[in-house]
Chains A and B, each alone.
Chain A
Amino acid sequence: MSLLELDDVRKAFGSIEALRGVTFSVETGSVVGLVGDNGAGKSTLMKTITGVHRPDSGTIRFNGASLTEMDPRGIREAGIEMIYQDLALAKMRDVATNIFLGRELTRNVLGVKLIDQKRMRAEAEAMIAKLGARVQSVTQIAGHLSGGQQQSVAIARALTFNPKLVIMDEPTAALAVREIEHVLELIRALSAQGIAVILISHRLTDVFAVCDRIVVLRQGAVIADDPTRETSMNAVVAHIVGAADAPHQGARP
């Protein structure tokens, strides 16, 4: 049994078929690259997994349980974290608040649940230190940090609650070369700890550097799903742009 299994997932917005029967799976601890041109359906697919959209038909199973009836909060709790391209940070709040956003630690005072700032800061500090992120203090305001530091905060948030699967949407798009290497190392480290990763990226060099398998989406369908060592940059590019002479090894119609 795979960790995440999608079977014939379909989603339409009005007359536009965004997902036309997507089937693929992710094994525990593996890194899967998800590539495709703009509008291929990558974002819709991820939003369908994280519960923002509900599929019209098909099944999504995680750890053997169906996700299709759960809301985003339940799916986070089940162990799927998403790192959004825009990072989804509250820029006027400090790092600790962002890391615990939606899952604040509280203490009970006379029946009122007060946010436990002190404990959140201590735990956030430990998390940032563990990741080796270059963030000076968890009391810094997120909006005052550099792009790379903000990325670290978003990653720390995803990893604080022991996820089994982390979805990263273009995590390296806005980063400097040195920071990109850091993110790629982190993905390898996660995989080594048994945490699966879905990496969505336009940077094929990054995808080839860390992924075990590469899935290509085009016009809402999977047109290639191959182990990285059995495919090539040229073949993947051909699949993405839909070149007719592409070698169709492992492709599903």
Chain B
Amino acid sequence: MSAISRFAAAPSLRRRLLGAAAFRIESLFVLAALTAAMALLSPYFLSVSNFLNILLATSVIGVLAIGMTFVISSAGIDLSVGSVLALSGVAGCLLMANFSLPWPLGVLACIAAGAAAGALNGFLVTKGAIPPFIVTLGMLGVARGFALVLTNGLPIYGLPDPIVFLGQGRPFGVPTPVIVLALTAIAAHIALSHTRFGLYAQVIGDSETAARAMGVRVERHKIYLYALSGALAGLAGLLFAARVNAGDPTAGLNYELTAVTATIIGGTNLFGGRGSVVGTLIGALIMGVLQNGLNLLAVPSFYQQMAIGAVLVLAVWLDRVNGAGRRP
């Protein structure tokens, strides 16, 4: 049994390049092809300012999709992100505009409101043993309704200047939300692919029994994951409110659809076990380019909604055909 000699095989170049990041290289080709097609179809597409527009439009969805990546990696799902976005934005704006809470606390309030809603999701999923699909679908209704109750259905105006800068400022010519997305993505990538926190999220999605047997505190970890998704929805809510300079209870309608789609196109396994923040960013950019291109081509937004839904189903179907989405 001289195993040592048989042991020297180095990882292939492909594996070295992709590493444990596990994002699908195909998604980059899709992004490139889509960009090329839009450039050919519209004379306005290829410009620095339009690319910054795409990034700006992607920033809110990108932040949501990053949180979604953690939850889906653990074989869960969070359908409440769009509603939690609205609730957190409204809660923060209400405190800042009507109760003159200082803006740094307002920022924290948005994130904390989202994290609280997310933690409640996680609590119900683990301690209540209710499927995540149902828990977060319920939260989708509850959080949206609560946002409407808080505001009487009307937007809240009068945000402090620093918040407006967060949404509309352009330090060094780059929109602030894009910078926030970039920083969030870097931190999230490190957390998912290089720390125990992210590894355990993926192992829980891979085999919950294995995680448990090896001493991972599965229940507690899941609560953290849903709280993280909620906190990022809160951050997205803040960015959204800052950009439109109002706390809007109808913000983020149907964003869960786009966030799930971006995550799945990026190569995160729908059934858990593998996730990639880099992939999710590419997925979010694909959605951004698609929407921007359709806008430039003057396609009505009703059709865009149809396109996003179709892309989601197509992505999962391609996964099935390739066998990549099935459990080994």
A167–B50 alpha-carbon span in the complex (Å): 63
State whether A92 and B11 are in contact (beta carbons under 8 Å apart), knowing that A101-B214, A112-B190 are contacts in the complex.
no
Contact of B210 among A90, A115, A117, A132 (CB under 8 A): A90
Q: How far is the CB of A225 from chain B (nearest CB, A)?
A: 28
A111 at the A/B interface (Cβ < 8 Å)?
no
Stretch at the interface among A17-25, A138-146, A196-204, A241-249: A138-146
Would you call A134 and B196 a contact (CB within 8 A)? no
Contact between chains at B3 and A92 (CB < 8 Å):
no
CB < 8 Å neighbour of B206 from A73, A90, A117: A90
Residue of B at shortest CB range from A128?
A: B3
Is B213 touching A84 in the complex (CB atoms < 8 A)? yes
- B20 interface hit (Cβ, 8 Å): yes
B15–chain A nearest beta-carbon distance, Å? 7
Q: Which of A72, A82, A101, A125 has the most CB of B within 10 A?
A: A101
When the two chains form the complex, which single residue of B3, B15, B210 contacts A89, counting CB atoms closer than 8 Å? B210
> Is B9 part of the binding interface, using a Cβ–Cβ cutoff of 8 Å?
yes
Closest chain B residue, CB of each to CB of A104: B196
What 1/0 mask marks residues of chain A from 177 to 221 whose CB sits below 8 Å from any chain B CB? 000001000000000000000000000000000000000000000
Q: State which residues 176-202 of B face A: CB under 8 Å.
A: 190, 194-196, 199, 202
Residue of B nearest to A71 (CB): B215
B243, chain A: closest CB distance, angstroms? 31
Q: Is A93 a contact partner of B327 (Cβ separation < 8 A)?
A: no
A94 vs B199: C-alpha distance when bound (angstroms): 12
Contact between chains at B206 and A91 (CB < 8 Å): yes
**B273 touches A (CB below 8 Å):** yes
Q: Are A139 and B195 in contact (CB-based, < 8 A)?
A: no
Q: Is B316 an interface residue (CB 8 A)?
A: no
Given the known interface contacts A92-B206, A101-B203, the answer about A106 and B196 at a Cβ–Cβ threshold of 8 Å is: yes
- CB within 8 Å of B: which A86-139 residues: 86, 88-94, 97, 101-104, 106, 112-115, 117, 125, 128-129, 131-137, 139
Tell me if B207 is interfacial: C-beta within 8 Å of chain A.
yes
State which of B3, B6, B7, B203 has its C-beta within 8 Å of the C-beta of A93. B203
Which residues from chain A contact B142 at a C-beta distance below 8 Å?
A: none
Closest to B328 in A: A143
B50 to nearest A CB, angstroms? 36
CA of A248 to CA of B93 in the docked complex: distance in angstroms? 79
B214: A residues at CB distance < 8 A: 88, 101-103
In the complex, which residues of chain B have a beta carbon less than 8 angstroms from the beta carbon of A92? 202, 206, 269, 273-274, 328
Contact B195 A115 (CB under 8 A): yes
Query: In the assembly, what is the distance between CA of A144 and CA of B327, in Å?
Result: 11
Q: Say if the beta carbon of B298 comes within 8 Å of chain A.
A: no
Given contacts A137-B7, A141-B328, contact A97 B199 (CB under 8 A): yes
* Other-chain residue from B4, B6, B212, B327 in contact with A91 (beta carbon distance below 8 A): B327
Q: In the complex, A90 Cα to B202 Cα: how many Å?
A: 9
What residues of chain B lie closer than 8 Å to A102, measured between beta carbons? 214-216
- Given the contacts A136-B7, A144-B328, A88 and B2 also touching, CB distance less than 8 Å: no
Chain A residue with Cβ nearest B19: A117
Docked pose: A3 CA to B180 CA in angstroms: 57
Which B105-140 residues have a C-beta within 8 angstroms of A? none
CB distance from A182 to the nearest CB of B (A): 8
A53 CB within 8 Å of chain B: no
Once the chains are docked, how many angstroms separate the CA of A103 from the CA of B196? 9
A108 nearest CB across to chain B (Å): 12
Chain B residues in the interface with A (C-beta under 8 A): 1-4, 6-7, 9-11, 15, 20, 190, 194-196, 199, 202-203, 206-207, 209-216, 269, 273-274, 327-328
Q: List 10 A-B contacts (CB under 8 A).
A: A82-B213, A90-B207, A91-B273, A92-B202, A92-B269, A113-B196, A115-B195, A132-B1, A132-B3, A182-B1
Give the 6 A-B CB pairs with smallest separation, nearest first.
A132-B1, A102-B214, A143-B328, A73-B215, A88-B210, A88-B213
Q: Given contacts A84-B209, A132-B3, list 19 more A-B pairs with CB under 8 A.
A: A72-B212, A88-B213, A91-B206, A97-B199, A102-B214, A102-B215, A104-B196, A113-B196, A115-B199, A117-B20, A128-B3, A129-B3, A129-B4, A131-B3, A134-B6, A135-B3, A136-B9, A137-B7, A137-B10
